[in-house]
């Protein structure tokens, strides 16, 4: 059974800082891993998908890396802004179950 | 709007009542997923459809829960005899079956259920 852990659970940083969110998973037999953003009371917005054969994927100020063999992914956010404040969720996709397994997320607050 | 839509967005009901939620996926997507999210937790998988066939159900989906996707387009999730523990956000997602490496799930805004 896939288990996903995200560290830290919460993070508060001043505007402009670069930051790293960590995700670890127990079953390395994944097809891909998605990073999502969730604003309070809202649905999930897909940020990045990184394929199991890839090491990195970039979108704007976001960069996701994947080390499949060690069961780790990181999301790097450059030059953070108050609008980045949200909960960030990682979810590996396990083809055997055709489903995403989520961690509990990292709640990010970027302060002015 | 060509994204995933869900209706209603909010539902308040009394314990013991039945409720039904609807999800309209992105039009060309043939896979549809239901997840449940409680406060402070990540979403948990409930069930998924490929076209009209329900291919997997989580053990979280008790006998009181039933999901359908009759024509391979929209889906409904019904909860019978609701309990307070059913209070949660119910999320729907859709994807296009293809190369698994690239398969991306797109989520709707969710239906927030409160059982009194």
Per-residue pLDDT tens for B43-73?
A: 999 999 999 999 989 988 889 999 999 988 9
Q: Cβ contact (<8 Å) for A52 and B101?
A: yes
- Residue B33 phi, psi (nearest 5): -125, 145
C-alpha B67, offset from chain centre: 8
Interface mutation vs chain B, best among A90, A99, A103, A107, most B CBs within 10 Å? A99
Kind of pairing between the strands at A106-111 and A4-7: unpaired
DSSP 8-state class, residue A83: G
Task: Report pLDDT digits (tens) over A3-45.
Answer: 999 999 999 999 999 999 999 999 998 989 999 999 998 999 9
B85 min Cα distance to partner chain A (Å):
18
Residue of B nearest to A88 (CA): B42
Q: CA separation (Å) from B61 to A26, B34, B66?
A: 24, 10, 8
* Among candidates A52, A98, A104 on the partner chain, residue whose Cβ is nearest the Cβ of B48: A98
Integer Cα distance of A68 and A89 in angstroms: 17
C-alpha B112 chain-centroid distance: 11
B41 band by pLDDT with thresholds 50, 70 and 90: very high
Closest CA to B51 of B76, B26, B28, B30: B30
Please, what is the average pLDDT of chain A? 93
Q: Is the pLDDT of residue B1 over 60?
A: no
What would the two tokens of residue A101 be?
């397994």
Nearest residue on chain A to B100, judged by CA atoms?
A31
Using CA atoms, how far apart are residues A34 and A56, in angstroms rounded to an integer?
Answer: 12
Tokens standing for residue B39: 């406060």
């Amino acid at each position: 059974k896939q288990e996903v852990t995200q560290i830290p659970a919460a993070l508060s940083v001043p505007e402009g800082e670069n930051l790293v969110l960590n995700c670890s998973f127990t079953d390395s037999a994944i097809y891909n891993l998605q990073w999502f953003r969730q604003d309070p009371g809202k649905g999930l917005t897909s940020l990045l998908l990184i394929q199991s054969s890839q090491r990195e994927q970039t979108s704007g100020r976001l960069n996701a890396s994947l080390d499949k063999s060690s069961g780790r992914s990181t999301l790097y956010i450059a030059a953070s802004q108050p609008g980045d404040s949200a909960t960030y969720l990682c979810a590996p996709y396990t083809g055997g179950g055709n489903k995403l397994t989520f961690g509990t997320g990292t709640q990010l607050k970027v302060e002015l | 709007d060509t994204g995933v839509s869900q209706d209603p967005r909010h539902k308040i009901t009394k314990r013991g009542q039945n409720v039904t939620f609807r999800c309209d996926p992105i039009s060309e997507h043939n896979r549809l997923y239901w997840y449940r999210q409680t406060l402070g937790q990540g979403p948990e998988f409930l069930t998924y459809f490929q076209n009209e066939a329900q291919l997997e159900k989580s053990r979280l989906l008790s006998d009181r829960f039933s999901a359908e996707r009759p024509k391979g387009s929209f889906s409904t999730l019904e909860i019978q005899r609701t309990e307070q523990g059913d209070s949660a956000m119910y999320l729907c997602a859709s994807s296009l079956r293809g190369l698994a490496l690239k398969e991306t799930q797109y989520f709707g805004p969710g239906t927030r259920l409160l059982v009194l």
